[in-house]
Amino acid sequence: MIRLRPPSPGSGRRPLLLVAIFVLASAFVPIDESAVADAPSSWKSEWPKTDFSNVRVDLSSIRSGGPPKDGIPSIDKPEFTTVGQAAMKGLAGREPVVSVVVGDDARAYPLRILMWHEIVNDTVGGMPVSVTYCPLCNSAVVFDRRLGERVLDFGTTGKLRHSDLVMYDRQTETWWQQFLGLGIVGELAGRKLKRLPMRVESFERYAGRYPGGKVQVPSREGIRQYGRNPYYRYDSRSRPYFDVGSLPPGVPPLERVVVIGEQAWTFSLLREKGRVTAGAYVITWEKGQASALDSAVIAEGRDIGNVVVQRKGARGQWQDAVHDVSFAFAFHAFHPDGKIHSLAATE
């Protein structure tokens, strides 16, 4: 696995620092002495508050991603503007946003911001949430920050597992797997965060649904190259930055998939079908969203389309459902026995 350190502001150059990470095959395992003993002393020095006696994964599967703790800074006091003002400030209609709606409070978090910060701690409709995005897995997940009577807020550890962001909470310094919302090292290891429905959609689709909604804007415009993609042509690669093993025939590792539990559907299949019914879920695809991981300028990325996942609520009305849009290799890494539905599988 290789993670790219974003270039310094204003450099205009592609990232030059590549940190090679060799990932061993791993699965969730009960705590054992060998896993604890494998924790490097540097980790214990950097993370004195983290309980390394409570481990739920093979520690050898966790590696440095390059930046140090909080080297990719979360946003803890996000600022917002109106839909109209966001368009005037240069947010293009095809640019992707993560939209979250709680009650009457609708908010959009552009990937042009999340690309550089990966975590936004916010409160939507009175609910504490964390909006997270891992560029290397293309995984956008929104969590309820409440865990029992605690309200957690999250930062980046600088560590990766299966190329996925490892977060930490500032209350206990437990490490959390972003893809799963699962505590993997520390006091809260084994606990799971509640995931919330969200959409990764184009800004123009969000604006059409919620013309009075809020849109996140950079708190300090000049500190990052917002609107540019530091992972140039990443999703056009034949493989990600490490050996992912074998995937089902006809499923490229960097194919985008819609993930619902232990099942996933490729974008190529959804593009062909337009609409797929999967048990209680209905998945639809429509064109009109730029890839955030294609061209140097996000707004110029190729069209990957918009996906909506819904299921019927208790009163029979259609509601947005919890899901993720990620790369096939990430789904396969965390769900090795999961099923990927693809065009190849239907032929």
What is the residue-averaged pLDDT of the chain? Answer: 89
Residue bearing the bigger pLDDT, 99 or 14:
99
CA-to-CA distance for 98 and 92, rounded, in angstroms? 14
> Measured in whole angstroms, how far is the alpha carbon of residue 78 from the centre of its chain?
18
Name the pLDDT band for 244 (thresholds 50, 70, 90): confident
Lowest mean pLDDT among 76-85, 135-144, 249-258, 309-318: 309-318
Q: Exposed (0-12), middle (13-18) or buried (19+): which is 311, by Cβ within 10 Å?
A: middle
Q: What is the pLDDT of residues 116-147, one digit of tens each?
A: 999 999 999 999 999 999 999 999 999 999 99
The model's pTM is: 0.89
Do residues 120 and 109 make contact, with C-beta atoms less than 8 angstroms apart? Answer: yes
Average pLDDT estimate for 198-221? 96
pLDDT of 4 reads 54
Confidence at 38, pLDDT banded by 50, 70, 90: low
CA distance 282 to 321: 9
Percent of the chain at pLDDT above 70? 88
Nearest-Å Rg of the Cα atoms of the chain is 19
